[in-house]
Structure 1
C-alpha cells in the first residue's frame, strides 16, 4: 500500500470534512480549514490518498500569516492543521504531507513557515523554536517554531507573526 500526496480540489470537500471531524473533537478545530477558505486565507490543502483505493488518509493545510522582520513584511505561512485518520497514523503519512507542504511553499517563495506543535516531531523537518523566538505572537512559547524556507532571513528585529483570524476561534473554544 502506498500513499500519494495531491492538492485538494473542490470535489474533495467531503473527504476533507471527514478527516477533520474524525481527527478533532472540538468543532472549532474541525471548522478551521473551512473558515480559512471562507476568509481567503487558505494557501494550500494537500490530501494523502491510498494509491490503489483512492481512500483519503489525511491532510495538511497551509494559511497566510502576517510577519515582519526589521519593519518589513515578509512572506510567511502557518502549517496547520495536520490531520491523519487513526488507522493511518505511524505509517509516514504525516511526514509525507508535511514534507510536501514545505516543498510547495519553498517553491512558491514563502520565506518562513510557522507551526505550533511538539518540537520532537517538527524539528526533524527543520523547524526550530530559535527561529520563531523574538516574533510577537499569541502562540509564542516552547511549542511555537518556524522554518526558514529560503536562504538568508532579512536583518533586523523580528516583529509580529500573526496567524489568520480563523485561528482565534481555537483559543476562544479552549
Structure 2
C-alpha cells in the first residue's frame, strides 16, 4: 500500500492528510488519443451513457478549459480513472464544476478516482481558480476539502440535499461569490 496526499488548501498552502491507495497512478491532462478511453471509463462507471455523452458535449462547449480534463493511468497505461472540471458560474462570478468523475469498475476502490480528482484540483489551483463546486456523495468529497456549498451562500438552481452540493475554496482570504450556480448548457439544468 502507498499513500497520496489529499489536498486541503488554505491560502494556497497544502496540508497533508493521507488517503491510502493500493497502487500508484499516473495522472495527466487528456490528449486526443484518450477520448475513446475516457468514454469507456464513463460508460463502465455509470448505468447509462448520460455522463459519457455529457463529457463529449462539454468538450465542444465554451465551458471546456484545456488542462482540466484529467486521466489516471495504471502502470500499463490503461486509463482507469477520470475527473473533469469545467467553467460554471455563481450568478455571474466564475467558478468550476467538478464532474463527471469516473473509474472503471475493475479499478474502483484503489485510488484512481482520488488521483484524478487531486490532479484536477491542483491544476485548477495552479490556473488561479479559487472555487470548485461538486454535486456528489457527501461521504466521499470532504476528504478533498469540500464542504456544503451553503456555507458560502451558494445553492443550485434545483433541489438536492444540502450536504450533496459542495464547494472547495482554495484561498479563504479572497472573496467567495454567493448566489445560484449556473451550469454550462450541456448539463441541462
5+ long unaligned stretches in structure 1: none
What do residues 126-169 of structure 1 show as CA deviations (whole Å, max 9, x unaligned)? Answer: 100055552242255320000002232417x712221111111x
Q: Which deviations, in whole Å up to 9, do the C-alpha atoms of 1:8-54 show, x marking residues without a partner?
A: 01111111111111112222222011000111212221111113x11
The corresponding residue for 1:18 is 40
Structure with greater strand percent: 2
**What pairs with 1:11-50 in structure 2 (closer than 5 Å)?**
11-43=33-65, 44-50=68-74
Equivalent residue of 2:146, what SS?
A: coil
- Within the candidate set 127, 144, 147, 2:168 is matched to 147
Name structure 2 gaps, 5 residues minimum: 1-22
Change in CA separation of 1:22 and 1:67 when aligned onto 2, cut-off 3 Å: same
CA contact (8 A) 1:57 1:93 kept: yes
Q: Does the C-alpha gap of structure 1 residues 110 and 132 become closer, same or farther in structure 2, counting only changes over 3 Å?
A: farther
Q: 1:132 to 1:19 in 2, by over 3 A?
A: farther
| Residue among 85, 99, 115 paired with 2:104 | 85
Aligned to 1:166: 186
- The TM-score, its normalising length taken from structure 1, stands at 0.85
Counterpart of 1:67? 90
Deviation by residue 1:35-74 (Cα, 9 ceiling, x = unmatched): 00111212221111113x1111111111100124xxxx43
TM-score normalised per structure 2 = 0.78
Q: State the partner residue of 2:139.
A: 120
- RMSD between superposed Cα atoms in Å: 2.0
Higher percent of residues as helix: 1
Corresponding pairs, count? 163
